[in-house]
Amino acid sequence: MTLLVGLGGCTAEIVSTSDDGTVAYDDGGGVKPNWRCKPGQDQDNDGIPDEVEGCDADTDLDGIPDYADSDSDNDGVPDAIDGVADTDGDGQPDYKDNDSDNDGVPDGDEDLNGDGHFGCCLKTCGEPRKGCPKVKPNGCGIGQTCQKGACTPRVEFLCSDGETDPKKAQTYPGGKSDKELPTFVCRKAGELGAKGLKPMDFRTSSVGNWKLALEQGTTYGELTIEGPAAMEAAAVFEYTSARQIVAGFVVSRAAAGQDAATEASAVRADIAAISGVTATTLSSGNSVKSHDEFPAVVSTVQELVASGAQKAGALRNTIVAALLGKGTKNKGAEDYGPDVTVFQVRFETLVRPDGRVIIIGGVAPQKLAKDSGQGTTYILDDISNGTGLATLSDSDTAECDPFNLIRNPVADIIWVIDESGSMNDNRQDIVNNAQDFFARAVQSNLDFRMAVAGVAEKPNPFPIIPPGKAAIVGKLCHKLMGPPNLPFDFDDGGDATQDRFLLPSEAAIFKSCIANPPYNENSAEYGLLHAYEATVRVLPRAANNPQKVRPKATLAIIIASDELPKMLSNGEYYQPQSKEMPTDGISISTNSQCTLAAADQQKVDAFLAPWKGLFGGTHPKWGKDGKAIVNFIGGTCGSSCAQIGHGYLDLVKATGGIAADICQKNLGQTLQIMIDTITGAASSAKLQYVPVSASLAVAVDNQQLVRSRVNGFDYVGFSNTLVFSGVKIQPGSQIVASYRRWVKQAQIN
């Protein structure tokens, strides 16, 4: 339900008041003359006779007598809804009492939009309700059911939209009092300071056709471009506090096409081409549809190492010039923050149907960007996740989402690891960061399990595989592995009939399996095939079975390889177990290019159809059971040590995963980004609309949480969910999230 907060009270302006009690006033629809207090009449049409309201009474002291005032106590709830009853027995009728039930919560903070309804909880099945989503003829509000034409229960927290009953101190039978509920975060902006709806600033550009939502007090300025072409525009904004050093930017330029992933890759390339800067892709970002249904890639992350120390604002100005391909007559501020050489840039790339691409992002010192205890990382998230960007014509409103946390997020994760010699240091890097990876998952209350597969070919010749043995495609490692013993290593990771997922308590086995996956691949990287077959081997889903994916788990695949899949490089192939797979490999001619030739891309698309069907949840046998998010650590556009991972990258794009450059010195931050994305996808705390994430306020029971990945809540834009870190939330806890959002979007099912 849309909340019209901050609009309570009568907005009429008195034009004149005569000695005989005749009042003329303007309620916005024109002057209403000769409204005179007369017994038996109801001048303000509120259902309360003039003589009851009194000819001389002016409860809210606004100069308008109660008999002519539709909201006599100025509490935001009209007199017609308040009525003449005295709910709390204090001698004041409800229409004159701004806390009718005397529960310590003003009526206007219980009936937030003053419509007399209880959020989007419906009375009759199929009932249309302004500001609420349309329901089917037998439909009701969230948490209600239709029984004999009536919606039950009449009062339900999940469809309340943060509202409570102004006439009851305890709205929910058997629950907490209204004063103890988390609905306080839905109240009018500024009323409770940090505990109310968070105020935001909105900035616009007519040339760029954008509207931005920024933290209140953020400095913003448009840039004057030298020789601007059509659709070109730019602006900068600054976060300058000691804990929040972010140099923001937004650029509009002509798009090459309508594919957001291609545009995002071009943006990364433009930044990487800046002289004196070395760029490494920590995350390619997630391919999504924006809140206003435009193709976008959100949360792209690059590490930038400059040849000389400088401030974030200076590097941001250089990036803006690189994205425009020309200079600007004015620049953003360069006089705040530390002088450093290592930075992080995060950005969104959004393609509009008018032929423009908009890039919005922020630059910050890497040390601050990586610190979850600082505000910098959350500002970068809010800028780059796309929730603060809209068209110039869009407007904003407030929402309040209540929900009960049913369960903690659940995920089963399959790793597919390339064991080639060139990957030795990369596998060790994953091992070195495994402890932090596990700790981040535990901190986020993620209920997770891990599985590890290799990439070896099936009929691998002796001496790699002894006579009479063959590699099992998709074989999982489930025992403590020794170090690789090349070239005679045939450690298969344990009896195939006992393949299973590893528990969080088995980090030592996980590390050994990453360092030495099943078999020795002998330069035969069949990662695509093993990813498919490993997934099929753990289906169908089943509860309480360590060998199968759990029914409620989000399935994630992480592939790590520095080479093109063998099945795409030269047509090498072997027949897998699954009959729906292709019978032959393919060979692409332009595998070293960021973008494949059209003919090669068509071949890849056709070849990958079974993978996209399985991981997209449309497989004819496995259906939604096989749905997975594919992530890739390997060769991306601009990688200095790896082949571009075509095929893998296509699956990442198709499933909404992320890709990262395997050539980076330390995979730690990439692994953190991946586990955060997986946790968000697995979270059951999904919001009804896409919020302006910087405006979020969240409370659990009667405690407001801070934005934190250490001890509080965070927002994951890819999945539009909340995650909770370091906060023990019991199943069934009542949670409320308030936020501002753009109007031009549909409710999310």
Return d(Cα 401, Cα 328) in angstroms, integer.
43
How far, in Å, are 259, 372, 374, 377, 722 from residue 708 at the CA level?
A: 34, 7, 9, 10, 11
Give me the pLDDT at residue 631, please.
97
Q: Is the pLDDT of residue 452 over 50?
A: yes
How far is the C-alpha of 679 from the C-alpha of 716, rounded, in Å?
9
What are the two backbone dihedrals, phi and then psi, of residue 409, each rounded to the nearest 5 degrees? -60, 145
Mark 132-141 as b/e (b = at least 16 C-beta within 10 Å): beebeeebbb
pLDDT at 487 over 80: no
Q: What is the pLDDT of residue 429?
A: 87
Of 566, 717, 573, 591, the closest CA to residue 644 belongs to: 591
Packed helices 507-515 and 424-443: angle between N→C axes, nearest 10 degrees? 160
SS3 631: strand
**Residue 453, Cα to own-chain centre: how many angstroms?**
30
Q: What is the pLDDT of residue 111?
A: 93
The pLDDT of residue 623 is: 96
Q: What is the mean pLDDT of the chain?
A: 88
Average pLDDT over residues 318-343: 97
Q: What pLDDT score was predicted for residue 518?
A: 86
* Structure-token match 């002519």, residue found: 68
What would you measure as the largest C-alpha separation in the chain, in angstroms?
112
On the question of pLDDT at 571 being above 80, the answer is no
Q: Average of pLDDT values for 247-274? A: 95
Stretch 243-269: mean pLDDT, rounded? 94
- The class (CATH top level) of 200-396 is alpha beta
Mean pLDDT across 308-325: 98
- Residue 471: DSSP 8-state: P
pLDDT for residue 485: 59
Task: Give the model's pLDDT for residue 469.
Answer: 58
Please name the amino acid found at residue 605: D
Looking at the predicted structure, is the pLDDT value of residue 396 above 90? Answer: yes
Tracing tokens 């013993």 back to the chain, one arrives at: 485
Q: What is the pLDDT of residue 573?
A: 63
Which amino acid is present at 84? V
Q: Give the other-Cβ count within 10 Å of 633's Cβ.
A: 29
The CATH superfamily of 410-682 is von Willebrand factor, type A domain (3.40.50.410)
What is the reported pLDDT for 23?
53
Q: Is the confidence at residue 670, as pLDDT, over 80?
A: yes
- Give the C-alpha separation, 637 to 629, whole Å: 21
**What local confidence, expressed as pLDDT, does residue 16 receive?**
47
Q: Which residues of 658-683 are buried (b: 16+ CB within 10 A; e: fewer)?
A: bbbbbbbeebbbbbbbbbbbbbbbbb
Give me 707's structure tokens: 């934005």
- The C-alpha atoms of residue 105 and residue 116 are separated, in whole angstroms, by 16
Could you tell me which residue, 256 or 29, shows the higher pLDDT? 256
> Which DSSP letter does residue 501 get?
P
Pairing state of beta strands 340-351 and 295-310? antiparallel
For residues 64 and 12, the answer to whether their CB atoms sit within 8 Å is yes
First to last CA, the chain: 14
Span 24-49, average pLDDT = 71
Report residue 6's pLDDT band, with 50, 70 and 90 as the boundaries.
very low
State how far the Cα of 609 lies from the Cα of 634, in Å rounded to an integer: 22
pLDDT in tens, 82-126: 999 999 999 999 999 999 999 999 999 999 999 999 999 999 999
- pLDDT band of residue 407 (cuts 50, 70, 90) is confident
Other beta carbons within 10 Å of 435: 11
Of 99-113, 364-378, 424-438, which range is least confident? 424-438
- In this predicted model, which residue has the larger pLDDT, 272 or 37? 272
Q: Is residue 589 very low, low, confident or very high in pLDDT (cuts 50, 70, 90)?
A: confident
575 against 64, higher pLDDT: 64
Which one-letter amino acid corresponds to residue 464?
I
User: Percentage of the chain with pLDDT > 70?
Assistant: 88
The secondary structure of residue 589, as a DSSP letter, is S
Question: Cα(140)–Cα(146) distance, rounded to whole angstroms?
Answer: 6
User: Which amino acid, one-letter code, is at 75?
Assistant: D
**Mean pLDDT to the nearest integer, 414-439:** 86
3-class DSSP assignment, residue 343: strand
Q: CA 591, CA 588: separation in Å to the nearest integer?
A: 6
Mean pLDDT over 342-349 rounds to 98
Whether residue 523 has pLDDT greater than 70:
no
Residue 301 has φ and ψ, to the nearest 5°, of -130, 125
Rg of the chain, C-alpha, whole Å: 30
Cβ-Cβ contacts under 8 Å for 694 (sequence gap 6 or more): 198, 200, 213, 214, 215, 379, 382, 387, 388
Q: Does 243 have pLDDT greater than 90?
A: no
Least confident of 4-18, 488-502, 559-573: 4-18
Percent of the chain with pLDDT over 90: 65
Write down the pLDDT at residue 326. Answer: 97
Contact 69, 60 (CB under 8 A): yes
pLDDT confidence bin for 164, thresholds 50/70/90: very high
Q: What is the 3-state secondary structure (H, E, C) of 439-450?
A: HHHHHCCCEEEE
Domain with CATH 3.40.50.410 in the chain: 410-682
Give the position of tokens 């939009």. Answer: 113
Helix axes 424-443, 668-682, angle to 10 degrees: 40
Looking up tokens 């009429």 gives 12
Confidence class of residue 1 from pLDDT cuts 50, 70 and 90? low
pLDDT at residue 628 greater than cutoff 90: yes
Residues contacting residue 264 through CB under 8 Å, at least 6 positions apart: 284, 285, 297, 300, 349
Does 486 have pLDDT greater than 80? no
pLDDT one-digit tens code per residue, 172-213 = 887 789 999 999 999 875 544 456 788 899 999 999 999 999
d(CA 284, CA 348): 10
Instruction: Give the pLDDT band (50/70/90) at residue 231.
Output: very high
Is it the case that residue 215 has pLDDT exceeding 60?
Answer: yes
Q: Which residues contact 114 (CB under 8 A, 6 or more apart)?
A: 4, 8, 71, 76, 77, 78, 81, 108
Quick: pLDDT tens for 593-607: 888 888 899 999 999
Most confident of 28-42, 414-428, 582-596: 414-428
Domain boundaries for CATH 3.40.1000.10 within the chain: 200-396
